[in-house]
A = this chain, B = another copy of it.
Amino acid sequence: MMLYRRAAIIGIGQIGASFALAGRRAGVLGHVTGVARSQQTLDTALEVGAADECTDDATAAVREADLVYLAAPVGAMRQVMSDIVPHLATDCLVTDAGSTKARICAWAAEVLGDAVVFIGGHPMAGSEKRGPGSASAELFADTTYLLCPGSAPQPAVDKFQELIAAIGARPLLIDPQRHDQIVALSSHLPHLCSVALSLALSRGKTDELATFGAGGLRDTTRIAAADVELWRNIFDANADNLLPAAEKLREALDELIGAIAAEDWDQVAELLSAARNFRDGLYSDGGDQ
């Protein structure tokens, strides 16, 4: 059943294009207009079938839309909201796919106000690849899709949750501040860690690393290949939660280094055990190792 007649996807990269592909395949999205600044992105979005039409003009795209999906970089989000707000239809739902929520939900309250309904969103999906060329209708399958409905009316929340379920994800409602505290650990700290490791390795002056590395090297550095602008904005928006988490990482690293330097192998084994117990318990359904 079609839930939204006309959607505008502002920032039709991997996430935005995947959302459109999944929504169209499920039959819950009607006409889709893709918006991006780069012509190449727009061409690719059309090629992969993520949009019916494409434009670089967000204000034109949102007219008559009953769903506006903001997948622009977090740093650009406030400006995009300001640009489109005079052109939004009153029955329009605005949502976003930003990786932090407190700042974006505050901007929405401030800029969009009561003109339209806003529901903050954060799909726990995506890869280190970029652009609509890496989009997939399967991207959200079996993932959690976090929602910050704020003061949105219940029928609007129910309807959007229906769409999220239709694209294969599990909607989960959460307070924006609590969201940012948790993702500082679950997502932003792993990212910081992968970047720090990649930086350290890049300074190790050997071009033979890949030959001498196995899955561990590949997996621990993978997300460091992600979009620079995206992550600069995330670190900016969530610095208050990320910095204390980063301190915990520094402390853990210091403990490990200290125990190895002191040749205290009992202590090293204890730290290794604690890490292993944590990881074994992380995916307690055993579904993923």
Q: Are A183 and B200 in contact (CB under 8 A)?
A: no
Known: A214-B124, A251-B200, A256-B195. Is A206-B185 also a contact (CB below 8 A)?
A: yes
- CB contacts (< 8 Å) of A214 on chain B: these are 124-126, 143, 187
The interface on chain A, measured as residues whose beta carbon lies within 8 A of the other chain's beta carbons, has a size of: 95
1/0 per residue, CB under 8 A from B, across A192-228: the answer is 1111111111111010111111111111111111101
Within 8 A of B (CB), among A151-190: 172, 179, 182-183, 185-187, 189-190
- CB contacts (< 8 Å) of A5 on chain B: these are none
Q: Are B255 and A199 in contact (CB under 8 A)?
A: yes
- Copies, count: 2
Q: Is the interface of A mostly helix, strand, loop or mixed?
A: helix
Q: Are B129 and A276 in contact (CB under 8 A)?
A: no
- CB contacts (< 8 Å) of A279 on chain B: these are 198, 221-222, 224-225
Q: Are A245 and B213 in contact (CB under 8 A)?
A: no
Q: Are B271 and A220 in contact (CB under 8 A)?
A: no
Q: Are A249 and B196 in contact (CB under 8 A)?
A: yes
1/0 per residue, CB under 8 A from B, across A39-52: the answer is 00000000000000
Report how far A215 CA is from B190 CA in the complex, Å: 10
- CB contacts (< 8 Å) of A284 on chain B: these are 210
Chain A interface residues toward B at CB < 8 A: 124-129, 143-144, 146, 172, 179, 182-183, 185-187, 189-204, 206, 208-226, 228-229, 231-232, 235-236, 239, 242-243, 245-257, 260-261, 263, 265, 268-269, 271-280, 282-284, 288-289
